[in-house]
Amino acid sequence: MSKQIIALVVINLICFNVNAFDLKNLMQWIASNTHYTQAASINEQSLPFVDLQELRDVERVFGNDVNSVYLPTDNKIVLANTNKQNIRTESILIHELIHFLQIQTNKQANCTQELEFEAYETQKKFLKQYREQLPVNDILYKLLTTCIQKNAWEK
């Protein structure tokens, strides 16, 4: 096989993996299960691009234990490639799509953790219908979703 054919096969496999995620269907679920009812009518071309990358590369750039991130400047979801599409992967995409919608709607929050709380709660709701749980332990969940209040003497 020539290098060009091998490269084409690899590109097609990567594109197949990325396109295998039905973001429009996930947006329909979000519209039906959250206050983001406009999610169902967002044009497919406006939806974020899903960029599958190796887990070690995602962690190297974004930190340990990070398996996905929404990058609003690129309108891209970077997702660690687990070589399998399953309910957990779809729940991670739901989480990142909530961040996409928060930005699209100029969602106001007192802190970043409020935005994470909404994303994790939506992800939890999605997983619950399949009798699955969040892939985050309770302590980390609290840290990621609770605003830290400053003491009165701090400015």
pLDDT at residue 90, rounded to an integer: 92
> Cα-flanking dihedrals φ and ψ of residue 27, to 5°?
-65, -35
Q: Where are the domains of the chain?
A: 21-145
Please give the residue that has the higher pLDDT: either 35 or 68.
35
> What pTM value is reported for the model?
0.79
pLDDT in tens, 118-150: 999 999 999 999 999 988 888 989 988 999 876
pLDDT in tens, 14-39: 333 444 578 999 999 999 999 999 99
pLDDT at residue 17, rounded to an integer: 42
Would you say domain 21-145 falls under CATH 3.30.2010?
A: yes
Report the 3 state secondary structure along the chain. Answer: CCHHHHHHHHHHHHHHHHHCCCHHHHHHHHHHHCCCHHHHHCCHHHCCEEEEECHHHHHHHHCCCCCEEEECCCCEEEEECCCCCCHHHHHHHHHHHHHHHHHHCCCCCCCHHHHHHHHHHHHHHHHHCCCCCCCCCHHHHHHHHCCCCCCCCCC
Provide mean pLDDT across the span 45-58: 85
